[in-house]
Chains A and B, each alone.
Chain A
Amino acid sequence: MSALTFTLKQAPAQRVDCSALTPTALADKSVADIAAIELVMGNSTARVDSLFDITGDDVTDININNSTNKLDFIGHSMASGKITVNGDAGAYVGQFLEAGEITVAGNTDVYTACEMKGGQIKVNGNTGDFVGGARPGYKNGMTGGTVIIAGNSGDRTGDHMRRGMILIEGNAGDYCGTRMVSGTIAVLGQVGAHLGYAMKRGTLLLQQAPANGISANFNDCGSHTLAFLPLMLASFKKLDSKFAEIETFSRVQRYAGDLGGIGMGEILVKI
């Protein structure tokens, strides 16, 4: 068996809902069945084989080639297997992801890992806003799993995030960790303005001090040696990420906030 490969024939004019093209949704389907699936595109539908050239038959290992940022909901509710996106991806990559791996070679649009429950998403480019966030009107963002962003993340990364990890190798945008309930966001690069705005609990782990400083809503708790950090950094070693190469450390400056709310969140800055 070889990987099931969807090669986009030409960039679609309208957005395409790719939620039907996951290992979970395609289990037990023949290539002919898959070709006949109608995908929602704009205000109409289109057969899979009208949009993609299809090769291979292993539904647990899916490639999407020539991908563009018009392909939304890639890996939606996936519970196993692997999806590799060669190119950019649209909005809602890995929404409700339960298990398995999604790798995007390019950039992703908004709401990557929206309400993700488990598994791993690796974006080799940049992501849009609201990584790991909750849908508008919903209270719980991602509740498990790991998101690795090799580039930069957009604004409001981890909005309403409840569990899991978001690891950003580049920079994070404004309002990183906003309204976060729990979980961990680690950033190797810089962070934007309003870090941890309305954060309830959770950890923002920064490799370097924020250029914009720490918000007045966070109080300095002093410098500390925290035993969980070596444990957490050791867990990064198995990842395909710059985080695997970090020299272990446990010494950090700790800031608690957002004191405008319950103030149980923390920003840890490596010292």
Chain B
Amino acid sequence: MIINGVTIDETFAEAFPMKGTRLIITALNAKWAMISAQAFTGFATSVIACGCEAGIERELDETETPDGRPGVSVLIFAMGGKGLAKQVETRAGQCVLTSPTSALFSGLDSDEKEIPLGQNLRYFGDGFQISKMIDGKRYWRVPVMDGEFLTQEKTGVQNSVGGGNFLVLAESQAQALAACEAAIEEMKKIPNVIMPFPGGVVRSGSKVGSKFKALNASTNDAFCPTLKGQTNSELSPEVESVMEIVIDGLTKEDIDKAMKVGIQAVCDLGAENGIRRISAGNYGGKLGPFHFHLQEIMA
């Protein structure tokens, strides 16, 4: 398949089941809601070492938040419910509770499973915390130095998908980056997904395993342009730079949509802007139950 001179490889991205939730962070103004959300989603690019993958879904205006203040919705994913609960609690405690004027709410209702949000953070109130049941949901008012930190007690957890991806193969670094930026711009408009890496783009895609026993992942040498003559390379002579976009989503369908608009945005730049191929990372289909076939998505 070729779109605007860009070859779409006959391959697939391989993704894994994760547990995810959505949180809504509000503040006195949009600036401080964003600061808190950025802190909450910091160091959360990959479960390999961060324990979770998190990102900002979108900004919310006053009409979209529970307390009628500007806010930001964030998505956070982990490999299991317990890991997710730990990450949510520590991040909420250190990055939202501490952030001036902030409040924290669940953005995902789930009948199946819930994890603590403010359930344990309330103890920061040292006995002065106050519970309020509003519309069947419990909230905690924790006294803090700037007033009160308001947080919902629990948030819902949903079976989600992590690790959807595609690779952009370009003639130069600058062209690969420009294409990825264009893709991220479009993908940000899709709800229920995040691209957890810095700016949504990852330049150090990995393969499973390493020659060093201590590591369980290492550089994806088949896509490293400087190794074209040293390894079993996937790259043609014209390709000088490869960048990857990783997508986590609440459902497989959400990732399908994000991949489609992202790949389309890359292809719109086309061969004339140095984009040669779109490929994807997989492990032979043996590890992850979710397969995103590039050509099917773009058909």
Contact = CB atoms under 8 A, between A and B. Distances in A.
Interface of A: 144, 163-164, 182, 184, 201, 203, 224-228, 230-232, 234-235, 248, 264, 266
A14 B132 CA distance: 41
A203 B134 CA distance: 13
B67 interface: yes
A232 B138 CA distance: 11
A226 B148 contact: yes
Contacts of A203: 130, 132
Contacts of A231: 66-67, 134, 139, 150
Given A225-B147, A226-B148, A228-B141, A264 B135 contact: no
B128 interface: yes
Interface residues of B, number: 18
B131 A228 contact: no
Contacts of A264: 127-128, 130
A230 B68 CA distance: 7
Contacts of A144: 133
Interface string B77-96: 00000000000000000000
Interface in B101-142: 103, 127-128, 130-135, 139, 141
A225 B103 CA distance: 13
B148 A227 contact: yes
A144 B147 CA distance: 28
A186 to B, nearest CB: 12
Contacts of A228: 67, 132, 134, 139, 141, 148, 150
Query: Interface residues of A: mostly helix, strand, loop or mixed?
Result: mixed
A164 B136 CA distance: 10
Contacts of B127: 264
Contacts of A227: 67, 69, 103, 141, 147-148, 150
Contact of A266 (B66, B68, B130, B131): B130
A40 to B, nearest CB: 35
B211 to A, nearest CB: 54
Given A227-B148, A228-B141, A184 B132 contact: yes
Given A226-B148, A248-B68, A232 B132 contact: yes
A208 to B, nearest CB: 22
A248 B66 CA distance: 13
23 contacts: A164-B133, A184-B132, A203-B132, A224-B147, A224-B148, A226-B147, A226-B148, A227-B103, A227-B141, A227-B147, A227-B150, A228-B134, A228-B148, A228-B150, A230-B68, A231-B66, A231-B67, A231-B134, A231-B139, A232-B132, A248-B68, A264-B127, A264-B130
A79 B68 CA distance: 34
Given A164-B133, A184-B132, 18 more contacts: A163-B133, A201-B130, A224-B147, A225-B147, A226-B141, A227-B67, A227-B103, A227-B148, A228-B141, A228-B148, A230-B68, A231-B67, A231-B134, A231-B139, A232-B132, A234-B68, A264-B127, A264-B128
A164 B68 CA distance: 23
Contacts of B128: 264
A231 B67 CA distance: 5
A203 B103 CA distance: 20
A144 B133 CA distance: 9
Nearest to A182: B131
A230 B132 contact: no
A163 B138 CA distance: 11
Interface string B56-87: 00000000001111000000000000000000
A266 B141 CA distance: 13
A-B residue pairs, 6 tightest by C-beta? A227-B150, A235-B135, A235-B134, A230-B68, A227-B103, A227-B67
Interface in B263-299: none
Interface string B164-192: 00000000000000000000000000000
B282 to A, nearest CB: 45
Contacts of A266: 130
Contacts of B141: 226-228
Nearest to A184: B132
Contacts of A225: 147
A241 to B, nearest CB: 15
A152 B69 CA distance: 35
A99 to B, nearest CB: 12
A215 B139 CA distance: 28
Contact of A230 (B67, B130, B148): B67
A164 to B, nearest CB: 8
A226 B127 CA distance: 18
Nearest to B150: A227
A206 B217 CA distance: 61
Contacts of B132: 184, 203, 228, 232
A232 B67 contact: no
A235 B134 CA distance: 7
Nearest to B133: A163
Contacts of A248: 68
Nearest to B105: A231
A182 B68 CA distance: 26
